[in-house]
Structure 1
Amino acid sequence: MLKGTEILSCAQMRAIESAAMASGEVTGLELMERAGRAVAGQIRLRWPKPGRVTVLCGPGNNGGDGYVVARRLHRAGWRVRVLGLENTPGPDAAKMKRLWQEIGPILPLEANLLPTAPDDLIVDAIFGIGLTRPPEDAIAALLTQLADVTNPLVAIDCPSGLCLDSGRFLSQIAPRAVLTITFDSLKTGHLIDAGLEHCGKVIVADIGLSHWRRYRQATRPDGKDVTLPRRITSHHLRISDLDPDTMQQLGKQSSAHKFSHGHALIISGMAPGAARLSARAALRVGAGLVTLCPEEPPLDIPTPPDALMRRWLDEPEDMAHALQDTRVTALCIGPGCGIDRAAALLPPALAARGPCVLDADALSAIAIDPNLWDALHDGCVLTPHGGEFARLFPDLTRRLSDIPATGPAWSRLDAAQEAAARSGTCLLLKGRDTIIAAPFEQARIVTSLDTPWLATAGAGDVLAGIITGLLARGFNPFDAASLGALIHAQAARLFGPGLIADDLPDMIPQVFRQMGV
């Protein structure tokens, strides 16, 4: 089973911190000192030569972290200015504030006091994970100015104004960091929506809480139990996260024959090029046999690769007959199929209840016909882009388009998980932050912010083929979709600029070599 890096919600992060402090093994003051020390250390690694820095300290614990950063950078030879509020924060942040005041003044947290020299560093320690409503008044004015500066911005946890549960800003004000340091674990908002881009490079600093992320009951010194957060079900998936079992399953045994690695059917239609992209990708990812199924012979002109088999498939009865062959282990309907053809072939395809990828025209057909919706099952993988998702789940899309009034905001992750639960299928929501959600609440995120050239015609058809090939080889739908998205993104990353969809299948062997398969 694929693992990945755990992603926490803000509530889970707060619960872990509370459990650790309630145990008596660590204090809030110690955690704050560790957090500020980690941020200052990362700043010194990236900017080894001390310079000028302005630290913006908010009203809560994030501001407390900022005061620690200011103190430690001052000790390292930096020229430090601190902007803060005339409030009385919690006891830990108040202590850190007093320690800074023994060193230097605290200027008002106002927009006109932001640095003007372009090389001056700014540390954003205003809100962090604690923000639940849009910033207002003077803070809103400051963040508006902060969003326009060209100075390098370092964020503690996240740029202020960002909801770390959703990756969405709680207003139209959106500062952009070059570096974000968060603690213990990634949060959902680092990886999806605006957070993926506005957080810049994200570094996770260990402040000694991993022990409390294990799901056990904690007891406070007074004997009361502490409730730990619900189990973590979201993970960030990267090439480096692949485990030996997955590598072994991707490889081929020397004694194997073609049918031992599965037989995939790719349904073609009036525009067979898209289906051929899917079929080539299924072959490249290791399906033992791939059969392209066009309409009657005059509509199909055989083209490379010659390794593709062909089988004419016109009527629903033809589909039902083809799926009686027990050697067929996966099916792909949608790329270049045509909506009418997909609508006609989906009933027998879904009735067979075998592994299948439903993409493009198949998704449009399902959005039109509620009977097809009712026939979906847990062997299906739905692969919508944003427009297709809107046709399938218009109410969820409307929630995503609303500007959130409070946090935690409704997120793409929430939408994908709700859609998977409704449909009873594995659902892959495409994007720079591709989200793979299973109907049993698990989810994974595969990011491809560094591969903008992946936004090219036909790339989705290749992804559908990769997933189909993995299904044919015996991967379960959730792992096939997750691994497929990862291979797809890595293939684009290795090729680089100038990529077209036709290049992607031919990059898959190089991805496998890089993975050590």
Structure 2
Amino acid sequence: MPTDHRLSDHLYSAAQVRELDARLIAAGTPGFELMQRAALATWRAVRRRWPQAGQLTVLAGHGNNAGDGYLVACLAHRAGWAVQVWQVVEPGRLRGDAAQAHAQAVAGQVPMAPWHAGASLAGVVLDALLGTGLKGEVRAPYAAVIETLNNSSLPVVAVDIPSGLCADTGSVLGQAVRAQLTVTFIGLKLGLFTGQAADQVGEVVFDCLQASASIIAAQPPAARLLAPDNLVLPARRAATAHKGQFGRVLVIGGDHGTGGATLMSAEMALRGGAGMVSLATRAEHVGAALVRLPEVMAAAVQSANQLLALAEPASVLVVGPGLGQGAWGRSLLSVAAASDKPQVWDADALNLVAQGAVRLPAQAVITPHPGEAARLLGLSTPQVQADRPAAVRALAERYGCVVVLKGSGSLVAAPNGSLAVCAHGHPAMATGGLGDVLAGLIGALLGQHVQAFDAACLGVWLHAMAGERQGAKGRGLAAADLIPTIRQLLEEIAPCRR
């Protein structure tokens, strides 16, 4: 999902943005003036994106979203573009600023007509149907209009948010506009960056509408959008640095047939900057580990007792990649669960927690995908995906740990309520093994004394950005492809030497 480089890193709920809007009006900025600013920002974005289009079709619904549409139509008409406004809602139902915007379009002789099934769309289409206040699934007549628009193959710009996309969750409420450009105002909405948003919003352009910085600052954001300037980075290293200062990561897992998962986690921990990396796995995988990763201390373990000796000198445990859910995996997991060391739990470690076979230790970061999150919460996967922010917060509260909910628009939550969102990634990342790489990376960062929430945020951002770089080469991305790219990215934003 391309985004404007000037985006704020503060994300808000729809209710918070409405509150900010009300505060701006109460502080002396008339609502209609804010609407005019929004229309101008949208018109400028349209002209930048499609300077030669010369034709604009506006789909006007109800409320202030429609008001924005009528004012954009006025601007395009004055600029000499061919304009057609299709009124999906009878203008007589408009009130306040939206009614004033419609009156201005009438006075400007903008071509307008009621929407009908045979209405033609042309040029750039402006989605001014439904705003952020949508509750429940999209109903008639909007559903049919959105279907027609999505089948048109025309370029689409959405005002504030694509109609039908939930501003709080990023879920599609039955039917949603697929836009190539979304111009959003006052405060960035959380739902623009997670869930199904990446398929709906296109490029995101933000305009604060000249809002008072003090008014905006008085509203604590609901979440933070991860960006290089708000990530907590590992400290630069002195010339006299030695391996004992940067953590000893022990990766635990790799049952029969899944040894590669632990190898990728161990390699990523090594390349992510851990001072030392050990691997506890099935005896059958030790030979491959020594060939592929001679720097990693690989040991065969058959029981919990054997693992105890390996876990004692470790400073961080990464548990779960390829672990399996059999007796062997359960035995090793019991050792980790009894440890007070910082840990990363993934994959089958989480499935065993969901089954009640073991309890999470106090200092854990967990990295579930939506299916694993659903099992941990006793929900279905669609229920988790319908409200990803609520799901990740519920996990952090229930288990008292830092949680990474993976997927499009990965989320990181902490028990204290902190929430972060990553807007990066690439569809080529839809392949196995990437979670193993992420778990090893977060483990390496914990070993370098980055706190759990910060390590999860940095790990998620590096992982997603590496996926973008590698994904640009096309489908066929392998999880291990990310490892050297993550190492390079980490050096770019956090150079090793002082």
Deviations 1:102-144 (A, max 9, x none): 11243113342232x4xx1110111121212333333332222
1:153-232 alignment, distance < 5 Å: 153-171=156-174, 173-209=175-211, 211-214=213-216, 216=218, 231-232=220-221
Among 364, 367, 378, the alignment partner of 1:394 is: 378
Q: 1:5 to 1:359 in 2, by over 3 A?
A: same
Give me the whole-angstrom Cα distance separating, in 1, the residues matched to 2:129 and 2:240.
61
CA contact (8 A) 1:286 1:470 kept: yes
Structure 1 unaligned spans of 5+: 217-228, 402-409
**Partner of residue 94, structure 1:** 99
Give me the whole-angstrom Cα distance separating, in 1, the residues matched to 2:212 and 2:322.
48
Q: CA deviation at 1:316?
A: 2.3
Deviations 1:441-496 (A, max 9, x none): 111111345x2221222221111110111111111111111111111122222233
Match of 2:125, SS state, is strand
**Partner of residue 146, structure 1:** 149
**Partner of residue 337, structure 1:** 323
**Partner of residue 483, structure 2:** 505
**Partner of residue 266, structure 2:** 279
Among 423, 430, 434, the alignment partner of 2:399 is: 423
Give me the whole-angstrom Cα distance separating, in 1, the residues matched to 2:334 and 2:400.
17
Letter in 1 for 2:91: E
Match of 1:447, SS state, is coil
1:475-494 alignment, distance < 5 Å: 475-494=450-469
Deviations 1:191-224 (A, max 9, x none): 11222211111111120225255454xxxxxxxx
**Count of residue pairs the alignment pairs up:** 478
Q: CA deviation at 1:63?
A: 0.9
CA contact (8 A) 1:333 1:342 kept: no
Q: 1:329 to 1:111 in 2, by over 3 A?
A: farther
**Partner of residue 438, structure 2:** 463
**Partner of residue 223, structure 1:** none
**Partner of residue 76, structure 1:** 79
Among 223, 247, 256, the alignment partner of 1:234 is: 223
Give me the whole-angstrom Cα distance separating, in 2, the residues matched to 1:501 and 1:76.
50
Letter in 2 for 1:262: G
Give me the whole-angstrom Cα distance separating, in 1, the residues matched to 2:370 and 2:297.
33
Q: CA deviation at 1:278?
A: 0.3
Q: CA deviation at 1:89?
A: 2.0
Q: 1:160 to 1:111 in 2, by over 3 A?
A: farther
Match of 2:104, SS state, is helix
Letter in 1 for 2:441: I
Letter in 2 for 1:501: A
Q: 1:412 to 1:213 in 2, by over 3 A?
A: farther
Identity of aligned residues (%): 35
Match of 2:239, SS state, is coil
CA contact (8 A) 1:21 1:28 kept: yes
Give me the whole-angstrom Cα distance separating, in 2, the residues matched to 1:388 and 1:4.
31
Q: CA deviation at 1:71?
A: 1.1
Give me the whole-angstrom Cα distance separating, in 2, the residues matched to 1:252 and 1:78.
59
* Alignment of 1:433 onto 2:392: no
Give me the whole-angstrom Cα distance separating, in 1, the residues matched to 2:210 and 2:302.
62
Q: CA deviation at 1:303?
A: 1.9
Letter in 2 for 1:356: Q
Q: 1:237 to 1:311 in 2, by over 3 A?
A: same
Give me the whole-angstrom Cα distance separating, in 1, the residues matched to 2:216 and 2:207.
18
CA contact (8 A) 1:376 1:424 kept: no
Q: 1:97 to 1:261 in 2, by over 3 A?
A: same
**Partner of residue 226, structure 1:** none
Q: CA deviation at 1:512?
A: 2.5
Q: CA deviation at 1:41?
A: 0.6
Deviations 1:244-285 (A, max 9, x none): xx34x2533222110101110011333322111100000101
**Partner of residue 16, structure 2:** 12
Letter in 1 for 2:469: L
**Partner of residue 135, structure 2:** 132
Give me the whole-angstrom Cα distance separating, in 1, the residues matched to 2:117 and 2:235.
55
**Partner of residue 225, structure 1:** none
Q: CA deviation at 1:189?
A: 1.5
Q: 1:510 to 1:299 in 2, by over 3 A?
A: closer
Structure 2 unaligned spans of 5+: 1-6
- Give the TM-score normalised by structure 1: 0.87
**Partner of residue 106, structure 1:** 112
Match of 2:292, SS state, is coil
Q: CA deviation at 1:241?
A: 3.1
**Partner of residue 319, structure 1:** 307
CA contact (8 A) 2:156 2:180 kept: yes
Match of 2:23, SS state, is helix
CA contact (8 A) 1:376 1:423 kept: no
Deviates more, 1:27-36 or 1:178-187: 178-187
CA contact (8 A) 1:184 1:210 kept: no
Q: CA deviation at 1:396?
A: 6.1
* Alignment of 1:306 onto 2:306: no
Match of 1:332, SS state, is strand
Q: 1:455 to 1:139 in 2, by over 3 A?
A: closer
CA contact (8 A) 1:110 1:142 kept: no
**Partner of residue 413, structure 1:** 389
Deviations 1:50-100 (A, max 9, x none): 511111222211111111111111222211112222324222111111111
Match of 2:340, SS state, is coil
Among 426, 442, 466, the alignment partner of 2:418 is: 442
Match of 1:168, SS state, is coil
RMSD over equivalenced CA pairs, Å: 2.2
Deviations 1:8-29 (A, max 9, x none): 11000000111111122x1111
CA contact (8 A) 2:265 2:437 kept: yes
* Alignment of 1:255 onto 2:240: yes
**Partner of residue 33, structure 1:** 36
Q: CA deviation at 1:437?
A: 1.4
* Alignment of 1:54 onto 2:38: no
CA contact (8 A) 2:13 2:222 kept: no
1:356-371 alignment, distance < 5 Å: 356-369=343-356
Letter in 2 for 1:357: V
